[in-house]
């Protein structure tokens, strides 16, 4: 499992500016601020100040955040300032002047190279984000009779997709949802995630039984493992299937933390029969059983990955998800994942693993005709 330090929302840039992200504002302000500070200091001083050498640092500083044209302008300003008598800066000799000119020209060249590199990296990042969004597209607010809200935090910096996955799909056998965690981390796990989600989306359309959907995912991993040398792929998953009236849900758990039922101010794990993770031959066992749970108006189902339930604080205590959810029972379902994430980040600033949450709120047709469902 990888380590992630309080990343922001999906799609936002989590890189530091030293790792390729745009520089912060203070880095852009630093070169002109340094020019202003040197000029002010020399004008206010009664005695000449030998601080002209500081101006030589301005072109290299400009490289960090400015393009070649702006860097050239700042380099020219440096040379001009060194020759203004009112600033009381020692006029440089020929050797010093040539050095400053050389540094300025070199800074312009480096700025040009950096700008081209940043443009290329920006294009590659845009393509990568589009590809990752294609694998795990944004979750719709409603699928059939179920309202949906989700949150995803990939552990590997600079990526949108890691080892966790979730999806909610409507099909001829009802609304079905899946949440899981594949073996591996970061981009190395994306191909397995894509394969499982593709198998799930197909199974939603042609498998009448939820256990058969789990079997399809299991078989997909077995086939992928057979094609890859020395690969032993496995994944944990929780699958749910809502009835047409959204008054019942069937649940299959394969090594994943069971869903929590939020009913009023209470939050409790569903009592389901756990099965072994996917990829270990469940399709041949033929013994997967789904647990059926009756739902009441206002009930919500909260699914969380092991990155949430296995997070620990400084004393080694696990994150008390059920207790924290009870305290957030009055919050709207759409805001619940963000609130849990904020609370989790306070409890454990260095969360271990990808973090994924999914809130499913059944909304039967009869209730939608009367008005919005609470929460």
Kindly list the structural domains of the chain, giving each domain's residue range(s) and its CATH number in brackets, ordered by start.
3-131 (no CATH), 136-370 (3.60.40.10)
Which positions ≥6 away from 197 have C-beta within 8 Å?
Answer: 135, 136, 165, 167, 178
Report for 128-137, 168-177, 228-237: range of highest mean pLDDT: 168-177
3-state secondary structure of 116: helix
CA 229, 230, 232 angle in degrees (round to 5)?
115
According to DSSP, residue 289 is labeled -
CA 126, 185, 344 angle in degrees (round to 5)?
90
Which positions ≥6 away from 105 have C-beta within 8 Å?
Answer: 75
Structure tokens at 100: 């400053």
234 neighbors 275 (Cβ within 8 angstroms): no
Residue indicated by tokens 């929460």: 375
Say how far apart CA 8 and CA 88 lie, in whole Å: 49
Mind listing the pLDDT tens digit for each residue in 327-345? 998 899 999 999 999 999 8
CA 268, 269, 273 angle in degrees (round to 5)?
150
Say how far apart CA 42 and CA 91 lie, in whole Å: 13
CA dihedral of 330, 332, 338, 340, whole degrees rounded to 10: 30
According to DSSP, residue 318 is labeled B
Within 10 angstroms of residue 337's Cβ, the number of other Cβ atoms is: 21
* Euclidean distance between the first and the last CA atom of the chain, given in angstroms as a whole number: 33
pLDDT over 60 at 371, yes or no: no
For position 231, what pLDDT does the model report? 61
For the chain, percent of residues with pLDDT exceeding 70? 82
With bands split at pLDDT 50, 70 and 90, how would you rate the model's confidence at 178? very high
């Amino acid at each position: 499992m990888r380590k992630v330090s309080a990343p922001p929302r999906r799609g936002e840039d989590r890189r530091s500016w030293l790792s390729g992200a745009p520089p912060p504002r203070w880095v852009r302000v630093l070169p002109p601020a340094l020019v202003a500070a040197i000029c002010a200091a020399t004008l206010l001083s009664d005695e000449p100040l030998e601080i002209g050498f500081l101006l030589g640092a301005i072109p290299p500083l400009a490289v960090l955040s400015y393009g070649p044209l702006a860097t050239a302008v700042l380099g020219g300003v440096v040379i001009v300032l060194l020759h203004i008598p009112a600033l009381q800066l020692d006029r440089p000799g020929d050797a010093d002047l040539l050095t400053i000119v050389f540094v300025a020209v070199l800074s312009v060249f480096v700025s040009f190279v950096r700008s081209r590199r940043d443009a290329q990296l920006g294009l590659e990042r845009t393509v990568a984000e589009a590809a990752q969004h294609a694998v795990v597209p944004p979750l719709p607010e409603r699928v059939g009779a179920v309202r949906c809200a989700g949150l995803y935090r990939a552990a590997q910096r600079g990526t949108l997709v890691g080892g966790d996955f979730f999806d909610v799909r409507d099909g001829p056998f009802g609304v079905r949802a899946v949440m899981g965690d594949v073996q591996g981390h970061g981009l190395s796990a994306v191909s397995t995630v894509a394969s499982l989600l593709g198998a799930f989306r197909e199974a939603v359309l042609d498998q009448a039984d939820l256990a058969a959907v789990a079997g399809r995912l299991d078989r997909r991993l077995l086939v992928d493992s057979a094609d890859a040398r020395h690969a032993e792929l496995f994944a944990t998953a929780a699958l749910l299937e809502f009835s047409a009236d959204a008054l019942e849900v069937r649940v299959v758990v394969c090594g994943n933390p069971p869903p929590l039922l939020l009913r009023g101010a209470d939050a409790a794990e569903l009592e389901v029969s756990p099965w072994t993770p996917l990829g270990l031959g469940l399709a041949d066992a033929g013994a997967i059983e789904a647990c059926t749970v009756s739902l009441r108006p206002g009930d919500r189902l909260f699914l969380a990955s092991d990155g949430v339930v296995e997070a620990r604080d400084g004393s080694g205590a696990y994150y008390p998800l059920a207790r924290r959810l009870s305290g957030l029972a009055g919050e709207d379902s759409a805001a619940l994942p963000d609130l849990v994430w904020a609370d989790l980040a306070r409890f454990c600033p260095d969360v271990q693993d990808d973090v994924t949450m999914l809130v499913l709120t059944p909304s039967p047709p009869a209730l939608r005709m009367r008005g919005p469902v609470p929460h």
